[in-house]
Amino acid sequence: MTEVYDVAILGAGPGGYVAALRAAQLGMRVALVEEARVGGTCLNVGCIPTKALVTATDLLARARRAAEYGVRIPEAAPDLEGMMAYQRAAVERLVGGVEQLLKEWKVTVVRGRGRLVRPDALAVADGAGGTTEVVVRHIILAPGSVMARPPIPGLDLPGVVTSTEALDVSTLPAHLIVIGGGVIGLEFACIYQALGSRVTVLEMMPNLLPGAADEAIAKRLAVVLRRRGMDIRTGATVQAVEEAEGGLRVRFTTAKGEEAVEGDRVLLATGRWPNTADLGLEEVGIRMNRRAIAVDEYLRTNVPNVWAIGDAVGGMMLAHKAMVDGRVAVENIAGQKRAVDYRSVPSAIFTSPEVAGVGLTEEQARQQGADVRVLQFPFSANPRAQILGETEGLVRIVCEAGSGRVLGVHMMGPHVTELIAEGALAVQTGATADDLAWTTHAHPTLTEAVLEAALGFQGATIHYHRKT
C-alpha cells in the first residue's frame, strides 16, 4: 500500500511530533512513523518520568524539613508503589495529550519500525510481516538516541541498569554506584539518595557535568552533594564491573591508582549515542558524522529533500533542541530559509540543588578570546531563597568586559531551571548586564539574584559585598 504525503517523519519523539504538528499547521499532509509510543524517549523513559520522580523526592525532602516552617508532618516517608503510579500517570497523561494533538491536526501515525529505502520513501514494518511504503516529497529523520555502551567488561551482569530500568524505584538498592557524573547520572543519584540509598558517583573527567555546565558551578555542585553525603569521585576511569559478595564491585583508576567500590546496583550513565544504525541510511547514501547524521545549518542532509533533526544529528541532546530543530526543518520545507541558532539553548539539570545554564561558560568565552567579566551573586543573600531555606547556590553572568553584553548565564540553586529563561532571552537578544540591571525584578523573588549579579557590572550590587 502506498500513499503520498508532503512530509514523512521517522520517529515521534519531541523532535518528530513537534515537526509533525508544525507541518500540519502549515497545511502539509503528514505521516509520522513510530515503532513504539509517541513522545519517544522524552515522554516515555526520559524527561517526564524522571521529573515526576524528582518532584516526588523534592516533596519528600521538604516534608522532612516541615518543622522548620512550623508545619507538622509526622513521618514523611516514600510510598514506592504510589510513586510509580504517579510517574506512570504523568507519562500516560502526556502521551495521551500528544496523541490527541496529532489526531486533531490529522497527522497520520504509521505504527512500525521505519527505514529509509529511497530518498523519497520510508518502508514501515508492522512487526507481523507486513510493510507499508510511505512515499513523500520530504523526509525528516528523527530517530533520536540510545544509551551509550562503553567497552567496559561486566555491563551485562544482573544488577547493572540503564536509566530506563532505573526509573523503576519499587525496590531500592542499599548502595547505588553511578558510572557517569553527567546530567542523567546525577539526576538519578539525587533521586536515589533522597529515597534512602547510599550513592557513589564515578566520573571520568576532572569535574562533574563535563561539557554540560560552567566549571565553577560544577565544582560547587560537587561540594554541595558531598556535604549531603554523596561519595563523588572525579578523575575516575571505570575499568570493569564484577560480581562481589552481596552484589557488584566496580573497579576504577584514579590519579592514586587502582581503586574499587562495592554496591548492589550499578547505573550506567555514560551518555547517549545517535540512534542511526539499521535505518537504511548508509544504503541511501546519507552522509554520516560518525554515528550522527551530517546536516548543514538548515538541517539538510546531503540527499536532497531528506532532513534530520534532534539527538540523531548530535550536538546538545536535549528535547527542546530537538523541538526547535523540528520547527526549523519544517519551515525550511515550507520555503523559508532559516538556519539553526543554538546560542540560547538552555540546559536544565534537575539535581538537588538544580543547575541551569545558557550561552558560553567562562572557559568557553575566554577560549574564544573574549575580554570576559564574570558577575556573581550567591542565593544566600537573596531574601526569597532565605525564606525558602534553600540558600546554597549562586548566579554567574559571563559578559563582555567592555559592552557588558551577556555571553552566558549559569546558575545553581532553587528553581534555576525556570529562572534560566531570562538568561536565554538575554543571550538571544544580545542584552547587556545593564539591561538586566535596569529591568525591574519583582521582590521578593529568586529572580532578584539575576538582577543583583547584573548590578555587579557597575559595582552596584546592593545586597552583597565583594571585597577586593
Return residues touching other proteins (CB under 8 A).
216, 219-220, 223, 226-227, 376, 378, 380-381, 391-392, 394, 464-468
Rounded distance between C-alpha atoms, residue 385 and residue 391, angstroms: 5
- Least Cβ distance, residue 378 to other proteins (angstroms): 6
Per-residue burial over 245-274, b if 16 or more Cβ lie within 10 Å, else e, is: eebbbbbbeeeeeeeebebbbbbbbbbbbb
- Least Cβ distance, residue 462 to other proteins (angstroms): 13
Q: Which of 274, 282, 360 is nearest to 314 (CA)?
A: 274
415 is catalytic: no
Extended strands (E) in 334-371: 347-349, 354-359
Q: How many residues does the chain have?
A: 468
* Inter-residue contact 277 to 144 (CB < 8 Å): no
Rounded distance between C-alpha atoms, residue 139 and residue 121, angstroms: 8
Within 8 A by CB and 6+ apart from 167, the residues are: 45, 49, 50, 53, 87
Q: Which of 97, 100, 135, 98 is nearest to 114 (CA)?
A: 135
- Least Cβ distance, residue 47 to other proteins (angstroms): 30
Looking at the Cβ atoms of 290 and 467, the one nearer to other proteins is 467
Rounded distance between C-alpha atoms, residue 365 and residue 307, angstroms: 31
Q: Which of 372, 450, 457 is nearest to 410 (CA)?
A: 450
Looking at the Cβ atoms of 376 and 445, the one nearer to other proteins is 376
Q: What is the secondary structure of 87-106 as a DSSP string?
A: HHHHHHHHHHHHHHHHHHTT
Within 8 A by CB and 6+ apart from 34, the residues are: 11, 12, 16, 40, 109, 110, 111
Looking at the Cβ atoms of 106 and 227, the one nearer to other proteins is 227
Looking at the Cβ atoms of 327 and 410, the one nearer to other proteins is 410
Within 8 A by CB and 6+ apart from 217, the residues are: 209, 355, 357, 394, 396, 410, 411, 412
Looking at the Cβ atoms of 219 and 233, the one nearer to other proteins is 219
Within 8 A by CB and 6+ apart from 308, the residues are: 140, 141, 142, 286, 293, 295, 299, 301, 329
* Amino acid at the residue 96: G
CA angle 165, 183, 57 (to 5 degrees): 65
Looking at the Cβ atoms of 305 and 376, the one nearer to other proteins is 376
- Least Cβ distance, residue 226 to other proteins (angstroms): 6
- Least Cβ distance, residue 302 to other proteins (angstroms): 45
| H or E element that contains 121 | strand 121-125
Looking at the Cβ atoms of 152 and 394, the one nearer to other proteins is 394
Per-residue burial over 198-211, b if 16 or more Cβ lie within 10 Å, else e, is: bbbbbbbbebbbbe
- Least Cβ distance, residue 391 to other proteins (angstroms): 8
DSSP 365: H
* Inter-residue contact 243 to 249 (CB < 8 Å): yes
**Selected catalytic residue, list 320, 443, 463, 465:** 443
- Least Cβ distance, residue 60 to other proteins (angstroms): 24
- Least Cβ distance, residue 50 to other proteins (angstroms): 28
Looking at the Cβ atoms of 29 and 228, the one nearer to other proteins is 228
State the catalytic residues. Answer: 443
